[in-house]
Amino acid sequence: METRVEAVMNSAQRSGLLADKDGRIGGRLSAALIEQAKANTGIATDTELLEFALASLALEDRFAEAFEAVGGTVDPDLKLGF
């Protein structure tokens, strides 16, 4: 079974988001935040953790926003099978 991390990273790879390693990012973060994120994901390195976090955001489907935009309605012509 594919883990969430594997699924996100495979999708990012297929989408071409991981093709080039030509960007750079840096920042100061809480060590507790980093360690908890690593523990929750099983990711060992800071670089892989950042890559996973950014890929998760880049691949976000925005379903909640789309659902809210249509007011939670269903097209009256939609055949639901009952």
Segment 3-51, tens digit of pLDDT: 999 999 999 999 999 999 999 999 999 999 999 999 999 999 999 999 9
Q: Per the confidence metrics, is the pTM higher than 0.85? A: no
* pLDDT at position 53: 97
Q: How far is CA 5 from CA 47, 49, 76, 79, in A?
A: 14, 10, 38, 36
Dihedral sign, CA of 42, 47, 53, 56? Answer: negative
The CB density around residue 41, as the number of other CB atoms within 10 Å, is 17
Tell which wins on pLDDT, 14 or 81: 14
Closest CA to 18 of 9, 31, 30, 5: 9
